[in-house]
Amino acid sequence: MDRIEAMRLFAAVAEHGGFTQAARREGVSPAQVSKKVAALESLLGARLLDRTTRSVSLTAAGAAYLEGARPLLADLDALEDGVRAEHSEPAGALRISAPLTFGTRRLMPVVLAFLKAHPNVEARLSLSDRMVDLVLEGFDVAVRIGRLDDSSLIARRLAPAKVALVVKAGHPAESIVSPSDLEKYTCVIDTNVPSPRRWTFEKNGSVEEAHVSGGLHVNSADAARCAALEGYGVILVPTFVIGEDVAAGRLTRLLCDWTPEHRDIWAVFPQNRFLSGRVRLFVDHLAEAFGPEPEWDEGL
């Protein structure tokens, strides 16, 4: 038995939730997948999957084996990619996680450009504001925004993620001169940030907080933008969401001499011994595309 192939097919069944789906993804027959996984279970002396006519699920032994198998398979893929990259174009699947709004607005064009430049790479892009576990969930790289917690992941800073205080042009809040003035006006509360009702600003080393309120709570900077464009209230959102609106005059920046809490855009990836060639190329591509001064900040 080819143990590596059996391990890979087992991981595919676990990832895709069934033998048929895994067979389609790996380009083999469902019978071959079933046979290989059964042989692996026989070799290990343990049942890795519970099978019914409708579903396939991991046993406790299967979950433990999958957790150990994924980094081994990733190391093997990365080792082969590293050798292959010296002589040929990168190929294979690139599993990417990114926040929903940033992924839709800014990452998608960059991913498409990467695929056009490297047609043998297949991107599997998962957009969600949930903090995924790269190793356990099998992602090669994630784009994250904010301050990173300490972890075993490798992080590369891609660009600043500036935040701007804006309102629809002509709104009465255009007259504010300090953060505390915000407490007089309706604000849109973005529950995706750590402190939705407490907005922090800095000026010449002095820090001031505004405790804001409003009748609309959203978990999306895009939704906050829509509310602001309708004139509902003041929003504090990343500039990658509203850069073009400010440049076009649809939204007006407030408190330009005050700096909101700083954030950054990062690429993070597991600390494998052998970094996949396609991951390395993709992260380099991201850094070049976004750069130290992203294009969405040009109008600001």
pLDDT of amino acid 287: 94
Domain with 235 in it: what CATH number? 3.40.190.290
pLDDT of amino acid 89: 77
pLDDT of amino acid 80: 74
pLDDT at 1 over 70: no
Condensed to tens digits (0 to 9), the pLDDT of residues 63-119 reads 999 999 988 888 887 777 666 665 567 788 899 999 999 999 999 999 999 999 999
My answer on whether 50 and 7 are in the same domain is yes
Query: Apex CA 97: angle with CA 268 and CA 191, to 5°?
Result: 95
pLDDT of amino acid 232: 95
From 297, 239, 292, 280, select the one nearest 77 (Cα to Cα): 280
b/e burial code for range 183-214 (CB count within 10 A of at least 16 → b): eebbbbbbebbeebeebbbeeeeeeeebebeb
Domain with 67 in it: what CATH number? 1.10.10.10
Residues 43-71 have a mean pLDDT of 89
pTM of the full structure: 0.69
Question: What is the average pLDDT score of the chain?
Answer: 89
pLDDT of amino acid 48: 93
Q: Which of 134-143, 162-171, 235-244 has the lowest mean pLDDT?
A: 134-143
pLDDT at 124 over 80: yes
My answer on whether 272 and 142 are in the same domain is yes
Q: Tell me what percent of the residues of the chain surpass a pLDDT of 90.
A: 63
Residues 230-250 have a mean pLDDT of 94
Last residue of a domain, one of 45, 65, 83: 83
My answer on whether 283 and 167 are in the same domain is no
b/e burial code for range 32-51 (CB count within 10 A of at least 16 → b): ebbebbeebbeeeeeebbee
My answer on whether 170 and 251 are in the same domain is yes
Residue appearing with tokens 């301050």: 147
pLDDT interval class at 17 (50, 70, 90): confident
My answer on whether 47 and 132 are in the same domain is no
My answer on whether 169 and 143 are in the same domain is no
pLDDT at 213 over 70: yes
Q: Which domain holds residue 148?
A: 89-160+264-297
pLDDT interval class at 297 (50, 70, 90): confident
Last residue of a domain, one of 83, 110, 130: 83
CA distance 47 to 62: 7
pLDDT interval class at 299 (50, 70, 90): low
From 24, 6, 21, select the one nearest 55 (Cα to Cα): 21
pLDDT interval class at 273 (50, 70, 90): low
pLDDT of amino acid 84: 64
My answer on whether 142 and 21 are in the same domain is no
Residues 122-135 have a mean pLDDT of 90
pLDDT of amino acid 95: 92
Domain with 291 in it: what CATH number? 3.40.190.10
pLDDT interval class at 138 (50, 70, 90): confident
pLDDT at 274 over 60: no
pLDDT of amino acid 215: 94
From 144, 147, 161, 85, select the one nearest 118 (Cα to Cα): 85
CA distance 247 to 299: 5
My answer on whether 9 and 51 are in the same domain is yes
My answer on whether 66 and 50 are in the same domain is yes
Domains: count for the chain: 3
Last residue of a domain, one of 21, 49, 83: 83
My answer on whether 95 and 134 are in the same domain is yes
My answer on whether 110 and 71 are in the same domain is no
My answer on whether 250 and 280 are in the same domain is no
Pairing of strands 235-238, 186-190: unpaired
Q: Tell me what percent of the residues of the chain surpass a pLDDT of 70.
A: 95
